[in-house]
Structure 1
């Protein structure tokens, strides 16, 4: 398999099912060009191509630690973990990629998105302080990615969500970290990011809704 080309396709992938199908078709077409030397990586690639993300995780984890410094292998592992909802593991894996390559905007994006998902997990046992730190980390990672890839709408969109979620956390009366001033600022930053997304596509009703919600949350702070 042409590993770098296939991996780049995954990096550009949006999470919709149709986009995933197109990406997997492309990767399959490339499969005969070049194979990775590690058999566990090859098995992980095969499982991923078949949409078996759990199987991909099993094989790719076996490829470690031999491939621990191969950001391409780590990316496939982190992506598979993300797809199975193992967000804490995905954040850790993408964090390793960022350690190897601080300019990897896609790894920064998935690390941030994974951490935001950890915060919002229904069964989360994190303290308020832990949630706050993860959201701050996510915002920081999105900002780093934006500095690298300034015209990627999804970075602004997801940073806006992180700002909003942190605003909710800081703006909940009765919680130890409550601050109306900080929450107001966070909602304002979320609004700026959502408005930025609309400059790319003004017809996005989902972002229009998020923008309205952020304004309502801000204006109803007590």
Structure 2
């Protein structure tokens, strides 16, 4: 991820968290070092510096957002979830925090290399769906929110529609696929002609129609 894109995404998250950006450098040296490392794409170092800035900066939603962003891009999704939860506690209308917490839950739910029960995977997918839904309530024009909720619904359909598993439930799986299709269709409505989304809709319909 290039420096300009990182700066843009961070600016978006900070504006959502704080309502404005600031032209002055942070007084906390660990926050300054964390910002620099983050903008340089060194997310692991950024997370380390920003963690050291706490609890002194524990009431600063921007520090929590940058910490969560750094943890997410370091692959530390559980810690990222906690940090974005703190952002939401401080600023309940932060769309970006809901979005990244939802993505972290979805990633954790589908990781096959981790030993997680099917029921816990389902809880994480439902948590992701809830976060995307809240984010959509706050910003109904953001296409990526519908696309990611569609993916979460699809993954829930796969989880609940896999025969031979303890939590198999065809009706729940069909409902999840149906909702996934609705969200993918909304993505097409907002961004017409996207062939990858057209393909996802076809795949979701095939998965749904071939449930046993």
Normalised TM-score (structure 1): 0.86
Q: Helix, strand or coil: the match of 2:116?
A: coil
Mapped to 2, the partners of 1:25 and 1:143 lie a distance apart of 24
1:197 CA drift (Å) = 0.2
Distance 1:26 1:58 in 2: 20
Q: Which residue of 1 aligns with 2:189?
A: 199
> Which is bigger in relative contact order (C-alpha 8 A, separation at least 6)?
2
Shift of 1:122: 3.4
Is 1:186 paired with 2:176? yes
Q: Which residue of 2 is the match for residue 153 of structure 1?
A: 143
Indicate the residue corresponding to 1:88 in structure 2: 78
In the aligned structure 2, how far is the partner of 1:54 from the partner of 1:26? 17
Moved more, 206-215 or 187-196: 206-215
Corresponding position of 2:4: 21
**Which residue of the partner structure matches residue 44 of structure 1?**
34
Equivalent residue in structure 2 for 1:76, among 66, 70, 73: 66
Partner Cα distance (1:97, 1:87) in 2:
15
Distance change (3 Å), C-alpha of 1:25 and 1:159? closer
Report how far residue 91 of structure 1 moved: 1.2
Rounded to whole Å, the distance in 1 between the matches of 2:4 and 2:112 is: 29
Counterpart in the other structure of 1:131: 121
Indicate the SS of the match to 2:27: coil
- Give the alignment partner of residue 155 of structure 2, picking from 157, 165, 184: 165
| Equivalent position SS for 1:110 | helix
- For the residue of structure 2 that corresponds to 1:172, the secondary structure is coil
Greater shift in the superposed pair: 55-64 or 100-109 = 100-109
What is aligned with 1:6?
none
1:88-137 per-position Cα deviation (integer Å, ceiling 9, x unaligned): 11111111111222211110000000110111223221100000001011
Please state if 1:56 is matched with 2:70.
no
Structure 2's unaligned 5+ residue stretches are 11-21
Normalised by the size of structure 2, how large is the TM-score?
Answer: 0.90
Number of matched pairs? 201
How many Å separate the matches in 2 of 1:125 and 1:165?
17
Q: Using the alignment, how far apart are the partners of 1:219 and 1:60 within structure 2?
A: 48
Superposed CA RMSD: 1.8
